[in-house]
Each structure stands twice: as C-alpha cells, then as structure tokens.
Amino acid sequence: MTETDTGWQQRLASLITTLVDAGDLRSKEWIEAFTATPRHVFTPQVTLTTGQGYRQISGADPAEADEWLSMVYSDDSLVTQDKPHAAGHTLPGGQPLRVPTSSSTMPSLMARMLEALDVHDGQRVLEIGTGTGYNAALLSHCLGEANVVSIDLDPGLVEKAQQRLASLGYHPTLIAGDGATGAVEHGPYDRIIATAAVPEIPLSWIEQLAPGGKILANLRGDLAGGTLCLLAKDGLDDEVIGPILPIGGHFMWLRPEPDDPHRPHEHASAPQRGTISRTTTRVDPTGIPVDDEGFRFLLQLQLHGTRSLHLGPAFDPNIRDERKAVIVTAADGSHAEAFARPELDGTYQITQSGPRRLWDTVEATRSLFDDLNQPTPDKFGVVANDSTQFVWFGNDDNWHRWPLPLV
C-alpha cells in the first residue's frame, strides 16, 4: 500500500478538527461532507512557488507523497493549474512568470462559504467555477448529485473534475461554458455559489435564481478582492440585495477566454501622452492607510478601475533620483505619485498624469473614510437588478452609494 492509501485519513481528520475548533465548520451536515470527501483525489498535483521559481509536487511520486499529502491536508489554497503571463513577464532567474488559472480553495474558506450559503434538503445549487471538482463533491454529498449543477470555462478542467467525482460515486451536472451566463437550462436555482470573482453581479444569475434564493459571490476590484456578498431575492422581482460578509475570500477572476489567464481590463493599458501635472498638498502621504482593507475597498468604489496603491520608490525629477512615495495607478493609464518627504514649507509634492487626477480622489477618500468612522468592508452591502447595481453603506436607504462595476 502507498502513503496515499494509508496516510490521508488521519490527516483529513486532523484538518477537520482544526476547522471545527476554529468555528469555520459548524453544522453536522457539512462536517459529514468534509469527512467523507478526500481532498487529495481532486489535487493529484500542485504547484508551489519558491524563490527559485516553480515546483510541481505530485502524489504519483513516492519520494514526494508525504510532502504532497501534508500540503493537500493543510488549510491552504493550492494552485492546480497555471498559464504563462500574457505580457511575457519573467522571474528574476529568467523563468516565465505564470498566472494561476485554477486552484483548490483553502478548506476553512470553503467551509465558511458553505455554512453561509444556508442550504436545505431538496434545494438546487449552481456552482460557478468547477475547478478541481472538490466543492461540487461536498455539495453532492450534502444535497445529492441531482441537485448540483457546476459550470467552468475550461473544458479540460470540467473533464478532469467529472472523472474525479465519478471515482467517488458522484455524478452532478457539469458544464463547460461561460459562468457569467449561468446555466438556464438546468435552473431555476435556490442557491448560486461563485468560486470565481466578479466586478458586478451577472444579470443571468439573478434571473436564474428562484424566489427566496440566495447568491454568494466574491465581489472584487483590483485593490480589495476579499469581499464576499450574500444576496437574497425577495419574491418574483429580478432583484437581489444583501450585505458584504465579514468573511475574507479572494478568488480568481471570472474570465471570458479559457486560454487567456487575464480579464480584458488586466491587460496593460495604453500609455498616456501629455504633460505631467505637478501640485502640492498638506496631507502627509504616509498617513494614507494604503494597507487597510476598508480604505482600499472604499477607494475602489470612489475610483473605478484603480489598479494599485502602495508605498514604494518613485523617481523625483527635482533630485533626479528615487525617493519614497505613495503610488496609485488605474487601468486607463492614469498615474499619481505623492512624495513622502515634506518640503521646507511643510507641503508634499504630487505628480499626476493621464485622463484622471487620481491623487485628488485619494485625498477625498481619506476624508470620507474618516467621516464614516473607518468602516470595514462588511459595513457595506449590494443591490443588483436589471437596471442598476450599486454598493451601499450602512443600509440600502443610506445616502452613500456607489455604482458597480468595480473595474
């Protein structure tokens, strides 16, 4: 017998104990589903990123079996498929940079999402993002395979997931197609769970949701990706509403092309021509909470298409050298740098370029962030229907609201 044949049960039991003790896994039904579902069946090979590049670890190699099982039954996300970066970027050693295109989500997050989904016997579930098939197996165990439909853009992933599920006796409906369109022919659905991120809620999901149904999805921008919203449909109206949950969850983008690891907005924007604007501010750039998840979430509501916000080195044309600055970029080519060292008069120098003055909005957002008492993402919620989608603060009648999408 191999290490895989004999070593996984104890590791799985230990993982489940960890999830239960942490409060991630609570209900009897989901504890039984996790106990009955061996994760290693769905992750026969994983990719590990190291300082020297990428390393693939396979359960088929006896020399790697113990390390592989330890990874599989850890509470970690595992990269199971990747593709070269579309721009041809390389690592410092010259190895092509690769972008993950499929993974097995960390078990604690899967457990929290499934618990939040609040499914009941006889309900029908659509999963957006089949991936390895592991989540579809958990759903099939809990609800029965006849009540589970799962769709993924990549036909190769769907085929492998189907084989792995069948090896455990599960035969849910799997579809190769665009998850944004849903699967109307098998609906309506009492629950829709998306393990792929979206910048707004696809209307097809709302239309395919049964009255009283719920959608659990990762509403994501490029600045703050870990926002899960749980939206409910009240009655026959094609509208869903609900809060952003205090559950961090960052998923890969739902993308339109199986062979391209990027969404269209992630491709490099065209450089913007024109004179760089220079101005000053009395706001200390180092006081901008660039790493605060709540501030980053609010900024991407205020400034759609923001690509990055960080403190780092920037070229100062005055001294013709680099110095520390807060740097913000957007998908339309807009760019701003706020230098951290004050001038003799106490002001800080700002450069801005492109079609939008990004720093002006960063400063305004910092003021609003403080006015709103520095809210975390779970202080917000979402309304989505066929004519409008927006994020609200506090409640859906509050004055503060921002239109979607986030990119």
Nearest to 301 by CA among 249, 227, 231: 227
- As a whole number of angstroms, the distance between CA 350 and CA 336 comes to 7
Contact 366, 288 (CB under 8 A): yes
Contact 265, 255 (CB under 8 A): no
* β-strand partners of 292: none
How confident is the model at residue 316, as a pLDDT?
A: 78
Nearest to 151 by CA among 170, 131, 121: 131
Secondary structure letter of residue 143 according to DSSP: H
User: Which amino acid is it at 324?
Assistant: K
The share of the chain scoring above pLDDT 70, in percent, equals: 96
Torsion of CA 113, 118, 119, 121, to 10 degrees: 140
Alpha-helical segments (H) within 200-315: 203-207, 293-302
How confident is the model at residue 263, as a pLDDT?
A: 74
- Sheet bearing 335-339, strands edge to edge: 277-281, 348-353, 335-339, 321-330, 306-316
- Residues annotated as part of the active site: 104
Work out the end-to-end distance of the chain between its first and last CA atoms, rounded to an integer number of angstroms: 51
- As a whole number of angstroms, the distance between CA 193 and CA 148 comes to 11
Task: State pLDDT tens for residues 327-360.
Answer: 999 989 999 999 998 999 999 999 999 999 999 9
CB atoms within 10 A of CB 335: 23
- As a whole number of angstroms, the distance between CA 332 and CA 358 comes to 11
Taking the domains of the chain in order of start, what are their residue ranges? 3-243, 271-371
What's the CATH fold of domain 3-243? Rossmann fold (3.40.50)
3-state secondary structure of 101: strand
How confident is the model at residue 266, as a pLDDT?
A: 67
| CB-neighbour burial class of residue 79 (10 A; exposed 0-12, middle 13-18, buried 19+) | buried
3-state secondary structure of 228: strand
The share of the chain scoring above pLDDT 90, in percent, equals: 75
Torsion of CA 357, 359, 362, 364, to 10 degrees: -70
- As a whole number of angstroms, the distance between CA 75 and CA 204 comes to 33
Torsion of CA 263, 268, 271, 276, to 10 degrees: 90
CB atoms within 10 A of CB 228: 26
* β-strand partners of 312: 325
Report the relative pairing of strands 189-198 and 209-219 from DSSP bridges: parallel
Structure tokens at 102: 């499929």
Task: State pLDDT tens for residues 130-153.
Answer: 999 999 999 999 999 999 999 999
Structure tokens at 240: 């869903």
> 116: part of which helix (H) or strand (E)?
helix 107-117
Nearest to 227 by CA among 380, 330, 99, 104: 380
Q: What residue ranges of the chain have pLDDT lower than 70?
A: 1-6, 87, 265-274
Nearest to 105 by CA among 222, 231, 306, 247: 247
User: Could you tell me the pTM of the whole model?
Assistant: 0.92
DSSP3 helix / strand / coil % (the chain, rounded to 5): 30, 30, 40
- As a whole number of angstroms, the distance between CA 330 and CA 325 comes to 16
Count, residues in the chain: 407
Residue found under tokens 């492109």: 354
CATH, range 271-371? 3.30.310
